Amino acid sequence: MEKVIEIQHLSKSFGTNEVLKDIDFSVSKGEVVCVIGSSGSGKSTLLRCVNLLEKPSGGKIIYNGKNILDAHHNIHSYRTKLGMVFQQFNLFNNHNVLNNCVVGQIKVLKRKRQDAEKTAKKFLHVVGMDQYVNAKPEQLSGGQKQRVAIARALSMEPEVMLFDEPTSALDPEMVGEVLKVMKDLAKSGLTMLIVTHEMEFAKEVADRVVFMDKGVIVEEGPPEQIFNHPKKERTQEFLKRTLR
Amino acid sequence: MSLEWVITILTNNWPMFLRGAGMTLLISIIGTLIGAAIGLIIGIVNTIPMPERGVKRLFQKTINFLLSAYVEFFRGTPMIVQAMVIFYGSAMAFGIDMDVFTAAIFIVSINTGAYMAEIVRGGIISVDKGQFEAAQAIGMNHFQTMMNVVMPQVVRNILPATGNQFVINIKDTAVLNVIGVTELFFQTKSVSGNNFRYFESFFIACVLYFVMTFTITLLLRKLERKMAGPSNYSMIGGLPMQVVTPEDTEHKIKE
Ligand SMILES: Nc1ncnc2c1ncn2[C@@H]1O[C@H](COP(=O)(O)OP(=O)(O)OP(=O)(O)O)[C@@H](O)[C@H]1O
Ligand SMILES: [Mg+2]
């Protein structure tokens, strides 16, 4: 399968704290990869390194056959190929729902407003938020905000969607609506890299599950293998703790 | 106090008071606007990520040093002294013969700029880090992030402080009388110098200053409310019962 992003020997330190150690990992076209692991294991940092919100300390990130960590590589155009969904939504507070999905298309992708609005409305429909185009972020519930955030990322028509615990900041009754949207996206063939604590969700939608612990990838494989027949002791312990 | 005197002074000198108040207002408005622009520019420049090495880094460090020197110097010295130094100094040191109006605008702008730079800095800090990250994550560069996401929020955040600065400027332009700017204080001094009714003359000035500052305060409150936008939104294609327009809510509030 064609690899969209390939990470080689990636490392990341904050001062003397080595948070990621020699990570090798790739995402193929159309694949849904879920990253699981206990708190502080470096999942968010890995995701943030992939779209360069954190600058990796070492290693390579290969996209389209080129190492985007090479100097003079245009990281802004690289980032448009990755859609990021944050735990805290981070909708632009100064824009309404529609403009949240439009501003990047116009300013970064240089699309015409008319086309941008059409695209935005299409994806707002996908996440079931097309009725709320005029609403301001502060007027929405958490689940609605996160669905708009997903539409905002989709509106850039990225090659990969990155999700960093998209449901962790939500009240329990809103988790379902966001997971439902994500399941639909997974079925549509979108390439997705998802950090999540929702094990049932991972079991259901993931093509591959990656288990991280203390800055390294301990084990990866199809959900059936990771959840039912984990090979490594650390994976077994983690699952025992979380699936109880 | 004699009301008759107040009336007499007004009837005889109202054009002077009016011109004085007009000058005060003009200098404060232009000074505040230019000062705010200076503050916003400094605020943006200060947020430019520092290159890790090279000439660019040195250049940026120098710029940042000069800017903070400017801010600290003008915040740390009285405007009345700055007025003297700049007005007489420019003539002496550079042979520039500034007319007093230009000097007045220059002094107020540059002074306000120093304060506004700090206000803007605070405004930028108060914008959530997630806003920067979300903008960068969709591929915006630093400038695009600042212009489309951060600064609009900063402007809204700093509006009350800017209004405050405007009000301060209306009052503080009085010090410009030392270089002979014909603002309200200067005019009042002239009037009272002729009639020797200091109390009544300055009482009139007092009222005029207050009318100006209070009007500005009210106007800015209105602007703030307007910028906050309607507190409700209308659903598109929703059920009729769900349609909530701003007008509806206004009715409800009034009732
Ligand atoms: N900006 C930072 N500066 C210093 N240390 C950091 C920073 N960001 C993360 N860390 C550290 O890196 C480690 C990994 O953090 P990370 O957020 O990647 O974990 P995580 O797996 O996402 O955890 P969680 O499930 O709680 O979100 C933690 O020990 C954290 O303290
Ligand atoms: Mg995390």
Nearest to A35 by CA among A230, A217, A229: A217
* Record: fold of A29-54+80-243: Rossmann fold (3.40.50)
CA of A193 to the centre of ligand 1 (A): 18
- Rounded CA separation A157/A159 (Å): 7
Q: How far apart are CA A48 and CA B220, in angstroms?
A: 41
Q: What is the CATH number of the domain that holds B122?
A: 1.10.3720.10
Report yes or no on B236 lying in a domain. no
In a domain, B211, yes or no: yes
Angstroms from B207 CA to nearest CA on chain A: 39
DSSP, collapsed to helix, strand or coil, labels residue A229 as coil
**What per-residue confidence (pLDDT) applies to B240?**
39
Determine the structural domain holding residue B87 and report its residue range. Answer: 3-228
Q: Model-level pTM?
A: 0.86
Distance (Å, whole) CA B40 – CA B224: 18
**How many separate domains does chain B show?**
1
Chain mean position to CA A45? 12
The predicted-structure confidence for B101-129, as pLDDT tens digits, reads as follows: 999 999 999 999 999 999 999 999 999 99
Confidence of residue B236 (pLDDT cuts 50, 70, 90): low
A234 vs B165: CA distance, rounded Å: 60
* ipTM given for this complex: 0.93
Q: Whose CA is nearest to atom 5 of ligand 1?
A: A14
Whole-angstrom Cα distance, residue B128 to residue B157? Answer: 12
- Which residues have CB under 8 Å from B51's CB, separation 6+? B57, B60
Cβ neighbors of A154 (< 8 A, separation 6 or more) are A83, A123, A126, A127, A161, A185
pLDDT at position B89, please? 86
Q: Would B52 be classed as within a structural domain?
A: yes
Sign for the CA dihedral angle at B166, B168, B174, B179 comes to: negative
- Residue A118 pLDDT > 60: yes
Which protein residues touch ligand 1 with a CB less than 6 Å away? A 14, 17, 19, 37, 39-45, 165
Residue B14 lies in a domain: yes
Residue B195 lies in a domain: yes
Q: How far is the CA of A44 from the centre of ligand 1 (A)?
A: 7
Q: Do the Cβ atoms of A95 and A44 come closer than 8 Å?
A: no
Cα dist from B230 to A64, A148, A173, B247, whole Å: 46, 20, 28, 9
Q: Which tokens hold the place of B127?
A: 């914008």
Asked whether residue B234 is domain-assigned, the answer is: no
* % of chain B at pLDDT higher than 90: 62
